[in-house]
Amino acid sequence: MASAKTTKIIIVGAGVIGACLAYHLSLRPQNVITVLERDIPGVGASGHSFAWVNAFGKDPRDYHTLNRRSLDMWYRLAHKLDTDIGIHYGGEMRWENKTVRAAQLEQRIQQLQTWGYPCKLITREEMLALEPELSPGAVETASHSEADIHVETDKFISVCLERAQESGAIVHSKTSVTDFVIRNGKIAAVKTSDTEFSCDVAVLASGVQTTELASLVDVHIPQQRSPGIVIKTTPCTQVLHSVAVIHAPAADENHQHLHLRQLADRTLRIGQGTQEGINRDESQEHADALLDQAKAYLPAIADAKAIPTAVGYRPMPLDGFPILGFTKAVPNLYIALMHSGVTLAPLVGEMATLEIVDGARVDWFSPYRLERFGKTIK
């Protein structure tokens, strides 16, 4: 793909992945980048995300390493963009109040340390030194993963798109891709309801809609449904002073674990269970119950009010791992579909650029090609 001639690249979707890719691709002067977004940037999974950037619970080792690399790349990307991109540093703190769960956490920390992940077990006193307003209740064991961050995705997406536009990219919001024009086995143009955009490369960074869009050119992208809810609150007291994210244990058998982060406007984002947990409860009751659980651990947020949020759908390939790369059947169609896209955005933005512009095949992506799903997949 590398040449002095202009390459017209269309990115379908302006979530964290499409925006970060637009930024990286637009740094190459021979590229003409167009981003087509059916709504407004960031309203897909990226706007519903808990946005914890981490490699904490990522298995197996290869996938952990992929996420770890990207986590480290966030620091470099922040330095390069050199403006407020909504990053909150300070790591992730968690604790357990039941013996079995405590033993599991200790084992996990040991495993992660073997893999070189910057995390450690901490005492109750160390927890309170990090977050003095925490009222953790019983603590069997606790940990701190120092490098983890969280990101305000709307800020990050805006900055990436602005920088891409400064480098000549064109971003069309409220522009839904409806079809593709195929010529000589390749995508010659991307169609919207009222026009078409000719291209040399089409990138699907369209989240859950990637399967539907790829099917228009007969490429099958296997996905599972993965609904989740992260509730919002009204602004409240600044309650997290050091760490970016906390994971708190379930209050009892009727509840699940809780995760919480605070944004610069002092609103909170709260979710339950794991990062992949299924939840469709959009009710005020559910939002209130989650916030009440959080208030038990952080009494200072008594003034916060829960705002129920609509269910968000994680882009989730069938086996849970990313799908990255050009397709065999349509050689100028590039797929970038993944869960943990907030964690993975810097790595995908930078490495997919090497594949799209320079024609490289990045080794790190080898386990994540579409072909792993077998012969039925084109």
CA 345/CA 46 separation, integer angstroms: 11
Among the listed residues 204, 203, 95, 103, the one whose alpha carbon sits nearest the alpha carbon of residue 143? 95
Q: How far apart are CA 146 and CA 366, in angstroms?
A: 29
Specify the residue, 38 or 94, whose C-beta has the smaller distance to ligand FAD.
38
If the CB atoms of residues 18 and 136 are measured against ligand FAD, the closer one turns out to be 18
Among positions 7, 31, 141, 209, the unique one binding ligand FAD when judged by CB under 6 A: 209
Locus of tokens 């038990």: 296
Question: Should residue 158 be labelled a site residue for ligand FAD when binding is judged by CB under 6 A?
Answer: no
Cα 220 to Cα 103, 117, 192, 275, distances in angstroms: 42, 36, 21, 26
Identity of residue 173: S
Residue 11 and residue 203 in contact, taking contact as beta carbons nearer than 8 Å? yes
Name the one range near ligand FAD by CB under 6 A: 128-136, 215-223, 295-303, 311-319.
Answer: 311-319
**Min separation Cβ 114 and ligand FAD, Å:** 23
∠ CA 134-298-302 to the nearest 5 degrees?
150
SS3 262: strand
How far apart are CB 245 and ligand FAD at their closest, in Å? 8
Interface stretch with ligand FAD, choices 47-55, 80-88, 129-137, 364-372 (CB under 6 A): 47-55
Show contacts with ligand FAD in window 349-378 (CB under 6 A): none
At its nearest, how many Å lie between ligand FAD and the CB of residue 335?
A: 10
Instruction: Decide: is 18 part of the binding site for ligand FAD (CB under 6 A).
Output: yes
Stretch that binds ligand FAD, among 38-46, 55-63, 84-92, 110-118 (CB under 6 A): 38-46
Q: Of 7, 34, 206, 211, which one interacts with ligand FAD (CB under 6 A)?
A: 206
How far CA 26 is from CA of 20, 34, 56, 169, in Å, comes to 10, 10, 32, 6
Cα gap 105→141, rounded to integer Å: 8
Choose one: 46-54, 107-115, 159-167, 299-307; the region binding ligand FAD (CB under 6 A).
46-54
Residue 334 interacts with ligand FAD (CB under 6 A)?
no
By the rule CB under 6 A, 187 interacts with ligand FAD: no
Q: Does 333 bind ligand FAD (CB under 6 A)?
A: no
Burial class (CB in 10 A: 0-12, 13-18, 19+), 156: buried
C-beta of residue 13 within 8 angstroms of C-beta of residue 205: yes
Rule CB under 6 A: which residues touch ligand FAD?
12-18, 36-39, 43-46, 48-53, 176-177, 205-207, 209, 213, 228, 230, 275, 312, 314-315, 338-343
